[in-house]
Amino acid sequence: MIYLYCLLQPASDPPPGLAGVDDLAVHLEDLGDVGAWVSDVPASTLEHSVNRVRAHDRVIRRAMADGTPIPARFGQIVRDRDALASAVAARRDLLIRCFDAVRGAVEMTIRWQVRPAEECQVPTGGVVGGSEGAGRAYLLAIAEEHRRERNVLAAGTTMRERIQGAVGSLARAEAYRGATAANPVATVSHLVPREMVGRYRSAVGLLGASAGVELRVSGPWAPYSFAELNP
Amino acid sequence: MTDPDLPLNDAEEVELSDLLSHVLDKGVVITGDVVISVAGIDLIAVSLSVLISALETIERKHASISGQLPYARDLSVLPPATGE
């Protein structure tokens, strides 16, 4: 069984002694014009743990020292080298396009807590007891829930647009995950050329200070959010 | 999660949440049977609740240091909360 960390183009060997999940040795599977950093694992599934997740990312970060890998999602295990080669070959065109898109860039991620301008209160006057009052209260509660959802969505979108205005010229692409009332943390990731990372951090810092918003920047990451193989 | 390096402080929790959301939820998928991604949902959910709590704590600390509420200046740029 082979555990996959990332794909590279051109293929290059990992440094001697590089350890991955469960301290297993990492080695290269050369698949022609694409390489894969992998470990041999004893089972077809790998239970997640924080240490294993960290090990997965550590291997990918090491690959970033030599270029821009396409990071694999955690937990992908294939039967053997032939299965890996077959899976890569079936997506070769999309992979090559993805390599071209991310080359020389890293992912920077901003997260912030979305706070609507105000908590909306739906008027509840006139609600009386009995089944009619209960029905009205139920409908008002649903309306309030929808209103809150829209406010969170709008507040997140507003800040996203401000961020785009501040760093859009420094980024090749953007991936946004909006907040909801249940999950009020919004996330936006940018694909940023390596040489632009310092300017990117400065721009986000200035925006956060001027807006009074805690914009938390993390990165550089491998381009996890930009490794979708969309036709 | 039974890793020995827990518990973490707020900043470390946020960092861990960042890590989990990237590694478990994103990245290329070239095999059709990523069994772990199904199991990983739990870890992401746990990570998210930890993240929200940690961010709130960090913001409260910043607010107490600066003597002002965070977001106070941001209210003017947010859309009116009419919901219409």
Q: What is the pLDDT along chain A (231 residues), one digit of tens a residue?
A: 999 999 999 999 999 999 999 999 999 999 988 999 999 999 877 777 888 999 999 999 999 998 999 999 988 899 899 999 999 999 999 999 999 999 999 999 999 988 876 554 555 555 555 666 888 888 888 888 888 888 888 888 999 999 999 999 999 999 998 888 888 889 999 999 999 999 999 999 999 999 988 899 999 999 999 998 866
Is there a contact between B22 and A87 if contact means CB atoms under 8 Å apart?
no
Phi, psi of A160 (to 5 degrees): -60, -40
* Distance (Å, whole) CA A227 – CA A217: 20
Read off the pLDDT of residues B33-58 as tens digits, 9 standing for 90 and up: 554 433 444 455 555 555 555 556 55
Q: Of A110, A105, A113, nearest to A201 (Cα)? A: A110
Q: Is residue A28 within 8 Å of residue A43, measured between CB atoms?
A: no
> Which chain B residues contact residue A88 at CB under 8 A?
30
**Yes or no, beta carbons of A212 and B71 under 8 Å apart:** yes
Question: Which ipTM did the prediction report?
Answer: 0.83
pLDDT given at position A8: 96
B83: confidence class by pLDDT, cuts 50, 70, 90:
very low
Instruction: Choose the closest CB to A48 out of B18, B22, B39.
Output: B39
B38 Cβ under 8 Å from any chain A Cβ: no
Q: Which helix (H) or strand (E) holds A102?
A: helix A92-102
The arithmetic mean of pLDDT across residues B15-36, rounded, is: 78
State the smallest CA–CA distance between residue A98 and chain B in angstroms.
Answer: 10
Nearest residue of A to residue B25, measured between CA atoms: A73
* Chain B touched by A87 (CB under 8 Å): yes
CA distance B9 to chain A (A): 15
**Dihedral sign computed on CA atoms, order B15, B20, B23, B25:** negative
Question: So what's the pLDDT on residue B52?
Answer: 58
Distance, CA of A151 to CA of A157 (rounded, Å): 10
The 8-class DSSP code of residue B28 comes to B
pLDDT at A4: 95
Element (H, E) at B65: helix B35-66
Cβ–Cβ under 8 Å, residues A102 and A190:
no
Rounded distance, CA A186 to CA B78, Å? 15
* pLDDT(B26) > 80: yes
Q: Does B12 touch chain A (CB under 8 A)?
A: no
Report pLDDT digits (tens) over B1-21: 444 444 556 677 778 888 988
Residue B15's pLDDT is what? 82
Q: Which residue of A has its CA nearest to B68?
A: A212
DSSP secondary structure, A30-92, as one string: E-SS-EEEEEE-SSS-----HHHHHHHHHHHHHHHTTS--EEBPTT-EESSHHHHHHHHHHTH
If pLDDT is split at 50, 70 and 90, which confidence band does B77 have?
A: very low
DSSP track, A127-162 = --SHHHHHHHHHHHHHHHHHHHHHHHHHHHHHHHHH
What pLDDT does B44 receive? 52
Whether residues B81 and A224 touch (CB distance < 8 A) is answered with no
